[in-house]
């Protein structure tokens, strides 16, 4: 029996790890899966855990308001190390670019426990964009033992950094597995705007916006808001905006100061993952600085304008499923109007093939772990 500890702390990690955990549970004769959450994000994490029915064995509950990265890092390292000492797993599985993932890998290294890294190999080659995620990914790659790269581009990035080719496996991205399961079960034409106590009709043409990246705090986020504000003022502008407002005060303050009290701009509470997937599926266009959205939206045939200077997902840009627009107000307006007015340009992006797989990543990951560690089962 192979004992696997899966560690995550944020909503995106939970979404991408859920199908892996489900696949491990299907193979109970081979694996014992232990789930540890740091709750680096609390409320948003809990929503996903509940939706996917994940049984949590350890909850470190590390979230505090506006905590420094150094504070989270030090607390997580000590607490995770204690759990690893107690459980002694055969392998630890982490995902993505969070502080939780990086520290879990470091704590595992200190205990000489192998690490499997889901979504390994993403790079922007700019250590401050995104911050601190880029450096987290680099450190993780040199702490991990098995690398589950979503694409051949990610694999090449790892090879450039000296990672052995026999330890890299191209699997696709597990977020597609999670998305297909969720959209299949969730299909509503209205969502509740809890903040304003009303319902929003998803049959109307609307643009979905998500923004939460640290590098966009301050002036960049203000520019994004001004672009939206100016677009809806134009007489011939034919779409509404739906913006789930991230709980971080650096986001809330700027968004509400610039975009409240406009009937065409719906500022809503952060959506639970099933509702968010449903809103993505029914949107016309998405503006986002999220990494996950760049992977998910193309599977739904939705163009994404990326509100960032760089992306660690260049294969999406190359495939034509997303377009980098940054945070320049005028460029955002120009690209939004182009996709609203030019059907040919819209279809070109909407029909481009998603490079992140077809929903079988979790099966591939679990198969690799079994093949590499099955001697433990004897």
- Around Cβ 328, how many Cβ atoms within 10 Å? 16
CATH topology for the 2-172+360-377 domain: Rossmann fold (3.40.50)
Sign of CA dihedral 348, 329, 263, 266: positive
- Around Cβ 69, how many Cβ atoms within 10 Å? 12
pLDDT by residue, tens only, the chain of 378 residues: 899 999 999 989 999 999 999 999 999 999 999 999 998 778 778 989 999 999 999 999 887 777 788 888 999 999 999 999 999 999 999 999 999 999 999 999 999 999 999 999 999 999 998 889 999 999 999 999 999 999 999 999 999 999 999 999 999 999 999 999 898 777 778 887 766 677 888 999 999 999 988 888 999 999 999 999 999 999 889 999 999 998 888 999 999 999 998 989 999 988 888 999 999 999 999 999 998 899 999 999 999 999 998 888 999 999 999 999 999 999 999 999 999 999 999 999 999 998 998 899 999 999 999 999 986 665
Tokens of 291: 């990494």
DSSP for residue 187: -
Q: Could you tell me if 269 and 246 are in contact, meaning their C-beta atoms sit under 8 angstroms apart? A: no
Classify 78 as helix, strand or coil.
Answer: helix
Catalytic positions, written as ranges: 97, 119, 133, 212, 214, 246
Of 189, 231, 188, whose CA–CA distance to 209 is shortest?
231
> Bridge-partner residues for 93, per DSSP?
6, 116
Confidence at residue 194, expressed as pLDDT on a 0 to 100 scale: 63
How far lies 325's CA from each of 285, 304, 310, in Å?
14, 10, 9
How far lies 210's CA from each of 86, 106, 224, 290, in Å?
39, 31, 11, 7
Q: Which CATH class is domain 188-350?
A: alpha beta
Which pTM value belongs to this model?
A: 0.83
CATH 3.40.50.2000 maps onto the chain at 2-172+360-377, 188-350
Helices (H), the chain: 11-26, 43-52, 69-87, 99-110, 133-143, 152-160, 174-185, 219-233, 249-259, 273-282, 291-296, 314-319, 329-341, 343-350, 361-373
What is the Cα gyration radius of the chain?
20
Measured in whole angstroms, the distance separating CA 143 from the mean position of its chain's CA atoms is 21
- Cα separation, 301 vs 342, whole angstroms: 16
């Amino acid at each position: 029996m192979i004992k696997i500890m899966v560690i995550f702390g944020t909503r995106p990690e939970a979404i991408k790890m859920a199908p892996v955990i489900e696949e491990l549970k299907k193979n109970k004769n081979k694996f014992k899966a232990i789930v540890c959450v740091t709750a680096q994000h609390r409320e948003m994490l809990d929503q996903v855990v509940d939706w996917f029915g994940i049984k949590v064995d350890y909850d470190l509950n590390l979230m505090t308001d506006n905590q420094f990265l150094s504070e989270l890092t030090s607390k997580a390292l000590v607490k995770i190390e204690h759990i690893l000492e107690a459980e002694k797993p055969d392998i630890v599985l982490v995902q993505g670019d969070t502080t939780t993932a990086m520290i879990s890998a470091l704590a595992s290294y200190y205990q000489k426990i192998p690490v499997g890294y889901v979504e390994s190999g993403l790079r922007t080659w700019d250590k401050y964009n995104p911050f601190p995620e880029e450096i987290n990914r680099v450190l993780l790659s040199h702490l991990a033992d098995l690398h589950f790269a979503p694409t051949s581009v990610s694999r090449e990035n790892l090879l450039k950094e000296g990672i052995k080719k026999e330890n890299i496996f191209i699997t696709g991205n597990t977020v597609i597995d999670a998305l297909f399961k969720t959209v299949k079960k969730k299909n509503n034409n209205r969502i509740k705007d809890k903040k304003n106590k009303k319902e929003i009709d998803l049959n109307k043409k609307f643009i979905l916006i998500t923004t939460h990246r640290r590098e966009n705090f301050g002036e960049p986020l203000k520019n994004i808001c001004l672009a939206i504000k100016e677009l809806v003022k134009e007489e011939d502008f034919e779409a509404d905006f739906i913006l789930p407002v991230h709980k971080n005060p650096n986001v809330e303050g700027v968004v509400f100061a610039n975009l409240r009290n406009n009937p065409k701009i719906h500022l809503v509470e952060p959506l639970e993952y099933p509702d968010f997937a449903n809103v993505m599926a029914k949107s016309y266009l998405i503006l986002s600085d999220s990494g996950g959205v760049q992977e998910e939206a193309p599977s739904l045939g939705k163009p994404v304008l990326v509100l960032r200077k760089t992306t660690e997902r260049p294969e999406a840009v190359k495939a034509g499923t997303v377009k980098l627009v940054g945070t320049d107000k005028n460029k955002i307006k120009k690209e939004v109007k182009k996709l609203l007015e030019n059907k040919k340009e819209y279809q070109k992006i909407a029909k481009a093939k998603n490079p992140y797989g077809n929903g079988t990543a979790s099966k591939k990951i679990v198969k690799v772990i079994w093949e590499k560690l099955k001697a433990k089962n004897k």
